[in-house]
Amino acid sequence: MSEQVHNRLAMVRAERKVSRQRLAEVVGAHYQTIGYIERGQYNPSLDLALKIAKFFELPVEALFSLEPFRPLTDEIYGRKRS
C-alpha cells in the first residue's frame, strides 16, 4: 500500500501564474496528471516530482512531503503545532 504524498503544487503553480497545461508540457506529463497530483489523487513518480521541483527552482521537499504541510502562516510566524 502506498502512502499519500502531500503537496503544495497548486499553491506554487497559482502563485507563479503557471497553468496546468504549461507545467505539463515542460515536465512531459498530461495536464490532467498535474490536476490529479494537486488533488492528492495520484502520487508523482520520483522522476516527475524532481522535474516539477526543477521547473519551479525549489527543493523537492518544498513541494512534496509524506507528512501534511504546516499552514504557511504557521511557518512564517513561527507558530508551533498543538
pTM across the whole model: 0.83
- Per-residue confidence in pLDDT tens, the chain, 82 aa: 568 899 999 999 999 999 999 999 999 999 999 999 999 999 999 999 999 999 999 999 999 999 988 777 676 676 665 5
Question: Can you read off the three cell numbers belonging to residue 5?
Answer: 504524498
Per-residue confidence (pLDDT) for residue 69, from 0 to 100: 85
In CATH, the architecture of 6-77 is Orthogonal Bundle (1.10)
Q: Which residues pair with 7 in a beta bridge?
A: 64
Per-residue confidence (pLDDT) for residue 49, from 0 to 100: 98
CA gap 1, 56 in Å, rounded? 30
Contact in structure between 62 and 13 (CB atoms under 8 Å): no
